[in-house]
Structure 1
Amino acid sequence: MAEEWTITKVVYAPQAAVDLLNDMEARMTRHNKRVTELLEANNRYLQDARNWHIIQDLRADEASSVEILSDNPDFNGQPNNAVICCGAWTDWQETRFTGDSIDAALGVAMAAYTQWSRKNAGS
C-alpha cells in the first residue's frame, strides 16, 4: 500500500496562487466559450462577405440585376428566401432562385451563373 501513495514533491504557494490554480477549469471554460463566440462571429462576417461577392459577380455585366426578396417565414412549405436575377446569363428573363436562407438562395443563383459561364466561355 505504501508504494501506491508516493509524494515526490511538496510545494508551498500563496493562497492567491492556489485559488488561481483551482479556478483554472472555470477560466478555461470561459475562455473557450469566448473563442467559440468570436469564431462564430467571424464566420457570420465571412458569409456576409461571400454573399456580397456573389451579388457583385451576378450583377457584374452591364444591365444585370439582382433583387433580394423579403423573407417568407410563413411555414407554408415554400422556401424562406429568394432572389430574382436578370442578365445575359438568364437570357434577360427575371429568374427566381430560392433557398431556406439568403445564403442558399444566392448559392443556387451563383451555381446557375457559373454553369452558364462555363458553357458560354468560348462564345
Structure 2
Amino acid sequence: MGETIDYFYSHVSPWAYLGHNVVRMVAEKHGAVLRARPVDLSGVFDASGGLPLGKRHPARQAYRFIELQRWRDKRGVPLSFEPKFFPTKPGLADRSAIALAQAEGPAWEFSAAMFKAIWVDDL
C-alpha cells in the first residue's frame, strides 16, 4: 500500500465536485490511499480572510461562473450553476462521510452521491 493522502473538501464546493473523480484517479494511478476529510469552509474563510460567495464582489461572482463553465467542459460532467438548494449546510453530509471513512465504508461513493445531488440533480 502506498502513501496516504488526506483529501480535504466540502460537499458544497463545485470545485470539489469537479475534481472529486480526478483526485481519485491520480491517487489510484500512484498507489496512494485517499482519506476523506470533509471540512466546514466557513471556518476556513474566517481564518484566511476569504469571503463566502454571497459576500464577494459581483465581478468576482460573475468570473466564477466563467471558470465553472470552463472546468465543467474540461471535465465533461454536468453541472448546475445555480443549484436549487445552494448554499446548503453540509454538516450532516460531512459527518456522514467522516463516519463512513472511519468505519472503512464507502465514504468516496457517498460523497460522489452528495456531489451529484447538489451539483447535478438539484436535490
The answer to whether the superposition gives a TM-score over 0.5 is: no
Could you tell me the TM-score, scaled by structure 2's length? 0.25
Could you tell me the TM-score, scaled by structure 1's length? 0.25
Higher relative contact order, structure no. (Cα contacts within 8 Å, ≥ 6 residues apart): 2
Which of 1 and 2 has greater Rg? Answer: 1
Structure number with the higher helix fraction is 2
